Amino acid sequence: MGYGVPAAVAAALRYRDREVLCVAGDGCFLMYPQELATAAAHNVRLITIVVNNGMYGTIRMHQENRYPGRISGTQLAGPNYVALANSLGAAHAEQVRTAEEFPAAFARARSAKGFALIELVTDPKQVTPVMRLK
Ligand SMILES: Cc1ncc(C[n+]2csc(CCOP(=O)(O)OP(=O)(O)O)c2C)c(N)n1
Ligand SMILES: [Mg+2]
């Protein structure tokens, strides 16, 4: 956790001719979002997808499994991710709420001239691909 964004910035700096994609949960992303300022400072191309379910979903899953309904410290209020990316110098940032919106948003991110961020808003009840909270 937290490693993806800085690792992706380093990869994008090192391999400028490649496309670099970072996929991070909201909890993961919030550990080091400021590293994107380095991407902007060096004008590297990089796409970050923040999977925003508003929680530390993996930990919530364990809480719900062992102590159903008794959650503790796993909710994330989170910032405005698009505004945060723009404040760090994003060339492109947008929020995606449906699968149908994704291809065009991804194409826009790919054609950005600097770092791009897509906030993917997902269903908080879907804690894993196969486990759904009631
Ligand atoms: C540095 C670090 N701290 C804590 C953990 C324990 N941990 C594993 S998954 C997780 C929550 C991840 O939340 P998020 O990035 O939002 O992804 P989600 O599970 O919601 O998809 C935590 C706290 C970890 N793996 N690494
Ligand atoms: Mg999450």
**Atom of ligand 1 lying closest to residue 26 CA:** 16
| Residues 6+ away with beta carbon under 8 Å from 108 | 92, 94, 116
- Quick check: 70 and 96 in contact, CB under 8 A? no
Please tell me what DSSP assigns to residue 121: E
CA dist 10 and 101 (Å) reads 29
**Atom of ligand 1 lying closest to residue 28 CA:** 15
Question: For ligand 1, is residue 4 a contact (CB within 6 Å)?
Answer: no
| 3-class state of residue 108 by DSSP | helix
Domain ranges of the chain: 4-93+113-121
Q: What is the mean pLDDT of residues 21-44?
A: 97
pLDDT at 25 over 90: yes
Which residue of 22, 56, 60 sits with most ligand 1 atoms within 8 Å of its CB, as the best mutation to test the pocket? 56
pLDDT at 49 over 80: yes
In terms of CATH, what superfamily is 4-93+113-121?
Thiamin diphosphate (ThDP)-binding fold, Pyr/PP domains (3.40.50.970)
The Å distance, Cα 123 to ligand 1 centre, comes to 17
pLDDT at 134 over 80: no
Predicted local confidence at residue 36, as pLDDT: 98
pTM of the predicted structure, to 2 decimals: 0.96
